[in-house]
Structure 1
């Protein structure tokens, strides 16, 4: 069990700051400069006065604010170096004191290990962030492998931490693109497509929608330099869903979805083609166009039948399509079909990489059970979805939980609903 002693943590943060001879404003400026050096986009342009107020809240014994993941990352890099510039992480160092402060604020022991690893890796890779004099396939391949490794952590590592790992790679891509004829380099185009698209997803999950849209636009542009249009279709399907859930603008989402299907049919991947049709089907279903949704789903199912095991964009298959099928059935009012499709889908989502999707499908399945007249079974599933969402931080699942809770209002006097409300508050809201 993790215990907290917030007052001790606040005191240690103050001692660290004063030990460097810094005012709140000095620390705020140092944090912003560190954010710029590490390409932490949400903080690198923030006003010093805003950061200063945040610092003051950390050190207040009456405030409940503590450094979040981004600020922990920046503070770790800042205090890992001595005033003379040397890297010191061992016992008795400012970095060690900072880790103690985080423990008092309630950070689990593994967080200190993660920060040590992030700081150490940052030092080891410092040279690789420098702009090479020319495009180097080795550098590009290494960066691309890092993007893939970060992507594999989705579902098991908080989105903010993945965003922090990815930020220097995104910045490296931007610098590489400034070289002559760089945009047309196939390896760099593929790297930037994947890096920007993943960064857009992470920005959405961390509720930075403006940055997400900009990154998806950049990813779409980068993918335009690739001969295989499956890459751009993949970006656009993801962009469609982010646009839908960030803005609730069906028309904007529909336009991107249509462009995705056009690209998908010009590309080589049947998996991407099936996903593009599935995404288009969901948009149609949400727009109360059941016939169009059914037609798009039919195309998706026919495409799934043509999947091959060597598809480089593999990952979307009949199991994932069942989730879309079930959601479309929910919107069409066919709760039984929805339940059966969603139940088949969720039974296959077992890996940590599937956790975010499992949270989404769980809420959809819960709603199907409610529509079938079983509110208690609905609530049982929502309890599971709440726990999954608390672990993954999945934004879409959280939105779906809110909508499902709204539909449960007729049972507001039931004990099982009061227990769900307590669970939601304690796990998602009050944590």
Structure 2
């Protein structure tokens, strides 16, 4: 927007006009030793706790205390089908059909479970393509899958790299890779929003390209769920996974989400690891039946759900449902746009934003490259009361989350950054 203004009065006025501003009061905002709110811009790593979360978890603790095992059927929110209470809201949030999503396990565990089904190497087609700067856990996971199937984890891995002197990936380069190696690639597995640059990829374009060469296609949406419009069903992707502790505010190490496209929903022959929670609900407790897999994403479950973690997820999803994700996205673009405007006033000889400028190619995160800086600058920023994170070699990641961050937050962050920028101009 060209009418952004560099002033505290302007930022505060935008907060007064913001229809979502009251939701900030529904979160616990970390405070400094003097009791003042810290400027928390780290929702890309761990989302803040909704104040309602405690009541949701306490409900399950009370039912456990009062009912014991009978809580599986008699709790206010019966535990046996508890994961189903999350399905509709999750599907809406990630742009999927209810049959395509399930909440279970942890993030990298779900990636492995998906690769059991969708990485089926052959002698001719066994390679895996990922982005060169994928989140380390994704890289380690796909390398281990290659080794598990007897392949060399370096020779079998194809990296989609940025061009010399660039940080962002180009689709033309991906097209060139597929043209040269498409018949060798069994799986394309991309981080939907790159953790380092914040680049949000075009799922539909990547999936269409991968499928045209016979590759399966999946996405790690850890930095996407609750942050961008994933539109997973229409993307055509075979699978996707995400965590719930970043933008979905469900607490450290909370459960992961899984998407399996509807076209795979009734394929009982699709290879998978199984457990009793992926078995037909009608006969699950008979205990003597042969395995009968559930249709849809539920058919990838293994174990009964961890209720306390799911209660925290339910608290957050209920808030997303109440607000409406379209309104969250609208504020996100405006808030991050203002943050971008403020950062650019510092001058490109001081900082550079490596996240795409196009709002449709990013979420709320901006990755700030501070020229000639090291981690000591980030430490000084933390001392000044700004909670962000540092990623080697020279990037500070900041994510103004629309549910609890304000225009004043991003204004204060930039004002606190200014006196810290004491590094010489230019790059070493």
Settle same-fold status: TM greater than 0.5.
no
* Higher helix content, 1 or 2: 1
* Higher strand content, 1 or 2: 2
TM-score by length of 1: 0.26
TM-score by length of 2: 0.26
